[in-house]
Amino acid sequence: MTTPVRKKGRLSEAVQSIQPSGIRRFFDMASTMDNVISLGVGEPDFVTPWKVREASIDSMERGYTAYTANPGIIELREEISSYLSRQFSTPYDPENEIIVTVGASEAIDIAIRSTVNPGEEVVIIEPGFVSYAPIVSLAGGKPVSIGTKKENEFKITKEELEAAITSNTKAIMLCFPNNPTGAVMTKEDLDPLVEVIEKNDLLVLSDEIYAELSYDQKHYSFARLPGMKERTILISGFSKAFAMTGWRLGFVCAPADITAAMLKIHQYAMMCASTPAQYGALEALRSGQDDVERMVTSYKQRRNYMVKSFAEIGLSCHVPGGAFYAFPSIEDTGMDSNAFAEELLHEERVAVVPGNVFGEGGEGHIRCSYATSMESLETAIERIGRFIKNHSS
């Protein structure tokens, strides 16, 4: 018997309109080679603190293996609420303004899908995290990018935002501290954006997953700005600060009407986040702040080492104020970021991510994650230094 030929295409037009992530290609290449030092991965090199793992194991021993309430266990939502008040002065109501999600990744998805109508534009700051634009496209929206500049330390200005806005603009997606540039925006940097946001009646989707990893001053949450909480969807999670990437746990906070809308999607698509992970996260918020500080101190040392070392080997690199990425310029080598990353991998066995995968403004740079051991960083710098020497004309 022959299988009937399908007349209709098997795949949706929406999924065909997006590309697979460019980061993956380098991981796949590097995984087939020996002796590679990877500065490619965007995740902590620490294991989740033991007491967090223990709390999760304990919850399973006690038999907490069923679904939880759709938005997450109330104890965790209450802890998220006090954590946000304590750390970032942004209180949210645990009853109707917080949803525990499957990573910040799900939070980004439901925030976009519950607010963006087909044809509406979402302003995205680039270089930026790779998932924003594809998710806006999947929702039928139109991503509009603003390329930030090295001269501005990869911050966005009021004028740049204004220039990107049309009568169709619905929202702006912010991410500070930024992946991949490490840029941070202080209260003074964010203040001027408020007028533009109010004038154009925009929503703000603020991905603050790297908030704890701010090295030179305390993170300032966008929702803290006068009048902005009502317009802001705050996205965050446990992956980076608490070294919990594999647990897949995040959260999203927003005014009650938007939270109720996001909950509908979460309810149908996920039901709830993983129960054992929620119990682990509860412990992380109750007693994990010392661990966060220990990890942040270590990232800061490595950040300082990377910036100093890039200068020594002749790569100009702005000082990343947060996250765990350095984003040096490779323009002086005359290579584009793809060629640089590919040749560096083959010649010196160092995996970095070419800046062009992060969108407009990323070309001419490479992303180097310094969430890896000092010893590996030292060897990587030695190898990159030799590579630059061999390729300088």
Nearer residue to ligand PLP within complex by CB, 254 or 388: 254
Angle (CA) 37 19 179, round 5°: 50
- Quote the tokens at residue 319: 């000082």
Closest CB to ligand PLP among residues 174, 258: 174
Decide if residue 175 touches ligand PLP (CB under 6 A). yes
Rounded to a whole number of angstroms, the minimum distance from the CB of residue 313 to ligand PLP is 26
Nearest CB to ligand PLP, comparing residues 130 and 388? 130
Site residues for ligand PLP, 177-216, by CB under 6 A, read 179, 207, 209
* 103 scored as a contact of ligand PLP (CB under 6 A): yes
The values of phi and psi at residue 239, to 5°, are -55, -50
Region from 16-24, 101-109, 142-150, 298-306 binding ligand PLP, contact rule CB under 6 A:
101-109
What does the alpha-carbon distance between residue 206 and residue 208 come to, in Å, rounded to a whole number? 6
The residue at minimum Cβ distance from ligand PLP is: 103
> Which amino acid is located at 74 in the chain?
I
Whether 352 and 39 have beta carbons less than 8 Å apart is answered as: yes
Judged by CB under 6 A, the stretch of 49-57, 237-245, 311-319, 331-339 that binds ligand PLP is 237-245
Q: CB-wise, 209 or 315, nearer to ligand PLP? A: 209
- Whether 371 and 324 have beta carbons less than 8 Å apart is answered as yes
Q: Which one among 23, 40, 42, 205 touches ligand PLP, defined by CB under 6 A?
A: 42
CB nearer to ligand PLP: give 250 or 354: 250
- CB nearer to ligand PLP: give 103 or 359: 103
Q: At what angle do helices 374-391 and 337-348 cross, to 10 degrees?
A: 110
Which residues, numbered 334-393, are part of the site for ligand PLP (CB under 6 A)? none
Among residues 221, 232, 239, 298, the one that binds ligand PLP under rule CB under 6 A: 239
Question: Could you tell me how far CA 227 lies from the centroid of its own chain?
Answer: 25
SS3 235: strand
Q: Per rule CB under 6 A, is residue 274 in the interface with ligand PLP?
A: no
Query: CA nearest 27: which of 360, 377, 357?
Result: 357
Name, in order, each residue with C-beta under 8 angstroms of 363's C-beta and a sequence gap of 6 or more: 336, 337, 355, 356
Q: Which is nearer to ligand PLP, 225 or 371 (CB)?
A: 371
- What is the C-alpha to C-alpha distance for residues 272 and 67, in angstroms, rounded to an integer? 7
Tokens of 254: 């927003």
User: Scanning the structure block, which residue is given the tokens 């806005």?
Assistant: 165
Contact flag: residue 141 with ligand PLP (CB under 6 A): no
325 forms part of the interface with ligand PLP (CB under 6 A): no
Q: Which of 71, 250, 359, 361 binds ligand PLP (CB under 6 A)?
A: 250
Burial of 385 (0-12, 13-18, 19+ CB in 10 A): middle
CB closer to ligand PLP, 200 vs 245:
245
How many residues belong to the site for ligand PLP (CB under 6 A)?
Answer: 13
User: Facing residues of 383 across strands?
Assistant: none
Under rule CB under 6 A, residue 129 binds ligand PLP: yes
- As a whole number of angstroms, the distance between CA 116 and CA 155 comes to 25
CB of 246: closest distance to ligand PLP in angstroms? Answer: 9
Which residues of this protein are in contact with ligand PLP, per CB under 6 A?
Answer: 42, 103-105, 129, 175, 179, 207, 209, 237, 239, 245, 250
